[in-house]
A and B are shown apart, each in its own frame.
Chain A
């Protein structure tokens, strides 16, 4: 039923993940809910790795369990409201429960028509997927089938997804950013002052100062080795972003902003998308279609398939740059409430 030799383990993990989801939603303390939400993401990552989807599990571990939890905690940090109010409204919740159960029953009524879990002859494995598995190495000289399909065969999807991350970064920036000069007249002040500052502790500062260069080295390895092992642009970009978020958390936010100023951050977020789109346009100038890397073989070393491999690497670097600086910019905006002066 799965790639694991013991399928009961998969079933147990699936039931545990339901328990985690229910607990995350019923804890009244919102910080606790954020932590259990991180644990839920880790459990999902384990299930997907068990089903043979290691790239997806890698991305979920970096993005869902790492960065998402930090976002929720930074949002709660600035406010004093970490306990959910005990409200009534039980009738409304029961009504929604009934509606949701009916909808679920409708969806479950299609259960007998689905293909069996783990069947190799299900319709989804029939048409395009065998072509990708059989021809990836000939066409693009890449071992990791997921990377080649993501950046080469389906390159348009990845370009637009990188653009979506860029747009989300701009949206959060425009929602949250306030000008420090107009502060006293317009915006009301933040409610809670922090009682604990991690940069007071020498141990935290030194340990993070030790870990950050190795995290960045590993992240560059993940981006470059995405052709041959699980990895790629997204995972490496998120790890790079997380290394700088670690610096921001363990030292001061101003420490990070002195090294990477706000203008540099926003320029580099755009630079990643620009690199991706520019590679596609360069292919048009060489005579091919947009994002058809094979036509770059006059500029890049090697034959057509090596040119496609190098094109994939360039594009993954672009994705990594955008994702890295997006994560940092979103964290700074959420943690400092848009003021960019002091925060988590």
Chain B
């Protein structure tokens, strides 16, 4: 069970690396928010799932971490949506391939 926990945490870290690279390399506000929002939520959930596997001897602690995962799963995409909506209303233009 502990080994599975370490694997899940490492996978979460790999997704975080992908998120960071996407945040730096994408050309546009919307694509960057897409990378940040999705990658952030997924990596955090994977790391917390790994933590559940590491504390599996105490069911109360695992239940608390499950509740945290629940809230992050609801709250983080909502925040991403709010930021993208705000950027849209403020007038950020999407990147087009030919505009460079």
Contact = CB atoms under 8 A, between A and B. Distances in A.
Question: When A and B assemble into the complex, do they touch directly, with CB atoms less than 8 Å apart?
Answer: yes
Interface of A: 195-196, 198, 200-201, 203-204, 207-208, 210-211, 214
Closest 3 pairs (CB-CB, A-B): A207-B78, A196-B86, A196-B89
Given A196-B89, A201-B82, A207-B74, 11 more contacts: A195-B90, A196-B90, A198-B85, A200-B85, A203-B82, A204-B85, A207-B78, A210-B74, A211-B71, A211-B74, A211-B75
Given A211-B71, A214-B71, A195 B89 contact: yes
B38 interface: no
A207 B75 contact: yes
A11 to B, nearest CB: 20
A210 B75 CA distance: 10
A196 B89 CA distance: 6
Contact of B85 (A201, A208, A211, A214): A201
Contact of B78 (A195, A196, A204, A214): A204
A204 B81 CA distance: 8
Question: Do most interface residues of chain A lie in helix, strand or loop, or is the interface mixed?
Answer: helix
Size band of the B side of the interface?
A: 10 to 19
Contacts of A211: 71, 74-75
Nearest to A201: B85
Contacts of A210: 74
Contacts of A198: 82, 85-86
Interface string B51-95: 000000000000000000001001100100110011001100000
Contacts of B85: 196, 198, 200-201, 204
Nearest to A208: B78
A24 B66 CA distance: 34
B58 to A, nearest CB: 13
A44 to B, nearest CB: 20
A203 B74 CA distance: 10
Contacts of B90: 195-196
A342 B74 CA distance: 27
A203 B37 CA distance: 15
11 contacts: A195-B90, A196-B85, A196-B90, A198-B85, A201-B81, A201-B85, A203-B82, A204-B78, A204-B81, A207-B74, A211-B74
A43 to B, nearest CB: 16
Nearest to A203: B81
B74 A204 contact: no
Contacts of A201: 81-82, 85
A208 B77 CA distance: 12
Contacts of B81: 201, 203-204
A203 B78 contact: yes
Contacts of A203: 78, 81-82
A196 B75 CA distance: 19
Interface string B12-23: 000000000000
Contacts of B71: 211, 214
Contacts of B82: 198, 201, 203-204
B9 to A, nearest CB: 15
A45 to B, nearest CB: 16
Contacts of A208: 78
A207 B74 CA distance: 7
Nearest to B85: A201
A148 B60 CA distance: 25
A198 to B, nearest CB: 6
Nearest to B88: A196
Contacts of A195: 89-90
Contacts of B86: 196, 198
Contacts of B75: 207, 211
